[in-house]
């Protein structure tokens, strides 16, 4: 008989006797003890077939109810006959264990800090950061979408200039950079009323306008006025979009 068949028979015997106990059939004491003994023999045989022994014990030191006959085929002779000793079956990990381990790994929580409180704290922080990000996207990066050809009369839905779903970190950063170009107005429009952008060095037109204003003011008043010169040069300053040589 092959190994797998033996394992299946042991498992079947253990289950059958367990079921008999559950339905509480009235049996004489001798029969009950026989069933229990057979179950222990089956458990020992199953352990021998599926587990590694914890150790080996001399046949003269075997405990009283050790299933000698059932375990004899698994004994070995090393000057004297030795029988395997098995411990209780290892407790299986609950199904959620692997999922929890995966979550701890994703959040980078060290083994010494792996508690439900630490996991909940990381989940709450992640949710809060996501809500911050989505609030910014809704407030600053929503633009009118393209009209739907199938429904031309309907108002198009808004679209977001950035997409955090399915994008890598690098792709999202690049989308964010391009979106900023659309939502930040040109620098010229940020100049307050009454102010004007000036080149760092006066152009020829500015110098000429300043000289003309100074000469005219001298002819009219006999004096000099820096403010008149400044205003003339400011008026002759090129705009930010024009190109004028110095």
> Nearest to residue 86, comparing CAs of 73, 74, 97?
74
134 occurs within a structural domain:
no
The pLDDT value recorded for residue 8 is: 64
Note the pLDDT tens digit of each residue in 123-148: 999 999 999 998 998 888 888 877 77
246 occurs within a structural domain:
no
The pLDDT value recorded for residue 1 is: 46
Tell me how many domains the chain contains: 4
Query: Domain check: are 176 and 198 in the same one?
Result: no
Instruction: Tokens for 49, please give them.
Output: 């077939």
The strand pairing partners of 151, in sequence order, are 148
Instruction: Tokens for 157, please give them.
Output: 């839905």
Query: Domain check: are 146 and 212 in the same one?
Result: no
Query: Domain check: are 71 and 106 in the same one?
Result: no
The pLDDT value recorded for residue 125 is: 92
Please state, in angstroms and rounded to a whole number, the distance separating the CA atoms of residues 128 and 119.
14
The pLDDT value recorded for residue 98 is: 80
Q: What is the DSSP letter of 80?
A: E
- The answer to whether residues 199 and 243 touch, using CB atoms and an 8 Å cutoff, is no
Domain of residue 167: give its range.
141-184
135 occurs within a structural domain:
no
Residue showing tokens 């008999």: 20
117 occurs within a structural domain:
yes
Please state, in angstroms and rounded to a whole number, the distance separating the CA atoms of residues 131 and 127.
6
Residue showing tokens 């150790």: 55
245 occurs within a structural domain:
no
Note the pLDDT tens digit of each residue in 12-44: 665 776 666 555 555 555 555 665 666 666 666
The residues of the chain scoring below 70 in pLDDT are 1-14, 17-58, 63-76, 78-80, 83-95, 185-190, 240-246
241 occurs within a structural domain:
no
- The answer to whether residues 69 and 90 touch, using CB atoms and an 8 Å cutoff, is no
Instruction: Tokens for 37, please give them.
Output: 């003994």
């Amino acid at each position: 008989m092959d190994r797998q068949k033996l394992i299946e028979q042991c498992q079947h015997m253990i289950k059958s006797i367990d079921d008999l106990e559950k339905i509480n059939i009235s049996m004489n004491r001798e029969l009950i003890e026989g069933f229990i003994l057979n179950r222990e023999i089956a458990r020992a045989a199953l352990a021998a077939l599926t587990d590694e022994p914890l150790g080996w014990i001399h046949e003269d030191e075997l405990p009283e109810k050790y299933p000698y006959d059932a375990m004899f085929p698994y004994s070995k002779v090393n000057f004297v006959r030795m029988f395997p000793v098995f411990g209780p079956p290892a407790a299986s990990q609950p199904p959620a264990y692997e999922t929890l381990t995966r979550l701890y790994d994703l959040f980078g929580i060290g083994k010494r800090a792996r508690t439900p409180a630490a996991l909940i704290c990381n989940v709450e922080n992640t949710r809060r950061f996501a809500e911050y990000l989505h609030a910014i996207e809704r407030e600053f990066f929503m633009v009118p979408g393209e009209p739907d050809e199938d429904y031309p009369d309907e108002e198009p839905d808004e679209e977001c200039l950035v997409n955090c779903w399915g994008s890598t970190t690098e792709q999202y950063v690049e989308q964010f950079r391009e979106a900023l170009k659309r939502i930040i107005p040109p620098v010229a429009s940020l100049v307050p009323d009454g102010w004007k952008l000036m080149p760092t060095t006066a152009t020829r037109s500015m110098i000429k306008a300043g000289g003309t204003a100074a000469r005219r003011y001298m002819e009219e008043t006999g004096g000099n006025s820096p403010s008149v010169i400044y205003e003339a040069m400011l008026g002759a300053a090129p705009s930010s979009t024009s190109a004028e040589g110095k």
